[in-house]
Amino acid sequence: MKNGNNPALFPEMVSNGGGDGILPWQEIKRMVAIGQVSASPEVPDSQIQPASIDLRVGPRAYRVPASFLRGRSATFMTRVEEFMEGEIDLTQPSPALLDPGKVYIIPLIERLNLPNDIHGIANPKSTTGRLDIFTRLITEHGDQFDRVPKGYKGMLFVEVSPLTFPIRVRHLMKLNQLRFVRGTHANDPIRNGDLKQIAEDYPLVYNSSGEPTTEGIADGVEITVDLAGAGVVAYRAKTDRPRMIELDKFNYYDPDDYWEPVTPRHGHITLAKGGFYLLASKQLVSVPLHLAAEMTERDATMGEFRVHYAGFFDPGFGYGVRTGDIRGTKAVLEVRAYEVPIILEDNHVIGTLNYYKMADTPDKVYGESALNSSYQGQGLALSKQFKRAVASGLAAASALPSAALVS
């Protein structure tokens, strides 16, 4: 028998090797194979994205009165059991109902056994964000949401709060995703003029004519909102009598029951206080295969609204499998105004698209049919639960093939 350094017995001792950066599809697949990511049922390849892994909810959800992280002297589930107001079985034939304005904690079925040079960052899946479902990843003994420290070993939890629509959720549904990063500074965005240099060889932004441009590229790509023209430029969620959405029904719901179209007035729209909106970027953006990207607010002083709950862009978004397959696609912006109504004008700066280095080019990239990339090549689209071809102005507008969303 060989000594105790067998990687199969001690996967936490094994680094994946390779360069620093966000880990690609093939390295995540290897992490699953050697037990650094484990679950029951096992993790299928279809759950692995070009630069992240989808996470599945477990069989129970716990309703709690408010968001919280664990106490210093308690396990997280001890705190959940202390605070919980109800327990929900997610394994029933009919999916369980989660109500707007409530907070739920759901243990995930994936567990981690990370090596000491890899940490994780989580974000909602794009469908989750576009339905105004607020999610945050929690680790055992963690003091930050959506962050997994290097060398973490243990369970994962997701905090779920539907903000607009009642939703129905069942066991093994995927609401958020986790990317793995190797290296101390590997998750620092590309800065100091390097991004413009990259754009000379790999176009990051295209104008409305489909031509590459470096306009708006500095420390990230400046993203502005597209409110030009007289047609529909945004959708606002209806909140007077919110209808339920069952998350595993696709191309099913009539958009008119849930959304109202927004048209500009003299080149601007007004975001109502507390309203939830979907808008499109003016820019057509592209993520080359050796990079990933994330949308962030441009500046906290630019206004009291939140942009993009689900802001991670996989390699291949707006780019394709090979250079030139797709000449950029628009980003869809999920926006909520908070304290006061806000006027947005056409070309208003609304966020920054930061680019990050991949540790390697992924073997599978966004847009490949095997990955079920639901939003590649679509326009100002609603989430995949809504019908794409309904005889109404709102549904027809949402299906225009002029832009895409992240998966």
What would the mean pLDDT of 243-269 be, rounded to a whole number? Answer: 94
Give the pLDDT confidence of 21-72 residue by residue, as tens digits: 999 999 999 999 999 999 999 999 999 999 999 999 999 999 999 999 876 6
Confidence label for 141 from pLDDT (cuts 50, 70 and 90):
confident
166, 172, 163, 178: which is closest to 129 by C-alpha? 163
Hey, is 172 helix, strand or coil?
A: coil
Opening angle at CA 306, ends 183 and 262, nearest 5: 135
> Are both 11-182 and 194-398 of the same fold?
yes
Question: Is the per-residue pLDDT at 75 higher than 60?
Answer: yes
Checking 143-150 for CB contacts under 8 A at 24+ apart, the result is: 143/69, 144/69, 145/69, 146/121, 146/122, 147/119, 147/120, 147/121, 147/122, 148/112, 148/114, 148/119, 148/120, 148/121, 148/122, 148/178, 149/119, 150/114, 150/115, 150/116, 150/117, 150/118, 150/119
Burial, 87: exposed, middle or buried (Cβ in 10 Å; 0-12, 13-18, 19+)? exposed
What are the distances in angstroms from CA 329 to CA 65, 140, 192, 277?
40, 38, 25, 19
pLDDT of residue 381: 81
pLDDT of residue 400: 33
Confidence label for 186 from pLDDT (cuts 50, 70 and 90):
confident
- Please give the residue that has the higher pLDDT: either 314 or 398: 314
Alpha helices in 116-188 (DSSP H): 126-130
Confidence label for 1 from pLDDT (cuts 50, 70 and 90):
very low
Give the pLDDT confidence of 269-282 residue by residue, as tens digits: 999 998 999 999 99
What would the mean pLDDT of 332-346 be, rounded to a whole number? Answer: 88
pLDDT of residue 370: 56
The distance of Cα 55 from the centroid of its chain, to the nearest Å, equals: 12
Confidence label for 395 from pLDDT (cuts 50, 70 and 90):
very low
Hey, is 44 helix, strand or coil?
A: coil
pLDDT of residue 193: 86
**Least confident window among 96-100, 123-127, 281-285, 395-399:** 395-399
Confidence label for 389 from pLDDT (cuts 50, 70 and 90):
low
Give the pLDDT confidence of 96-111 residue by residue, as tens digits: 999 999 999 999 999 9
| Bridging pattern class, strands 312-313 and 291-296 | antiparallel
Average pLDDT, the chain: 86
- Size (the chain), residues: 407
What would the mean pLDDT of 165-174 be, rounded to a whole number? Answer: 97
User: Would you state the CATH architecture of domain 11-182?
Assistant: Distorted Sandwich (2.70)
pLDDT of residue 407: 31
Confidence label for 187 from pLDDT (cuts 50, 70 and 90):
confident
Question: Is the per-residue pLDDT at 2 higher than 50?
Answer: no
- Please give the residue that has the higher pLDDT: either 73 or 397: 73
What would the mean pLDDT of 162-185 be, rounded to a whole number? Answer: 95
Whether the CB-CB separation of 183 and 121 falls below 8 Å is answered with no
Q: 41: cis peptide before it, omega within 30°? A: yes
Strand-pair partners of 63: 86, 104
Q: Which fold has domain 194-398?
A: Deoxyuridine 5'-Triphosphate Nucleotidohydrolase; Chain A (2.70.40)
Hey, is 370 helix, strand or coil?
A: helix
pTM above 0.75, yes or no: yes
Question: Is the per-residue pLDDT at 81 higher than 70?
Answer: yes
32, 182, 192: which is closest to 112 by C-alpha? 32
Q: Where are the domains of the chain?
A: 11-182, 194-398
Give the pLDDT confidence of 9-19 residue by residue, as tens digits: 444 445 555 79
List, in order, residues 6 or more apart from 222 with CB less than 8 Å away.
216, 298, 349, 352
Give the pLDDT confidence of 296-327 residue by residue, as tens digits: 876 655 555 666 566 899 999 999 887 667 88
pLDDT of residue 378: 52
| Bridging pattern class, strands 245-246 and 167-169 | parallel
- Residue 369 phi, psi (nearest 5): -60, -30
User: What's the count of helices (H) and strands (E) in the chain, helices before strands?
Assistant: 5, 27
Burial, 241: exposed, middle or buried (Cβ in 10 Å; 0-12, 13-18, 19+)? exposed
Confidence label for 293 from pLDDT (cuts 50, 70 and 90):
very high
Question: Is the per-residue pLDDT at 171 higher than 90?
Answer: yes
pLDDT of residue 11: 47
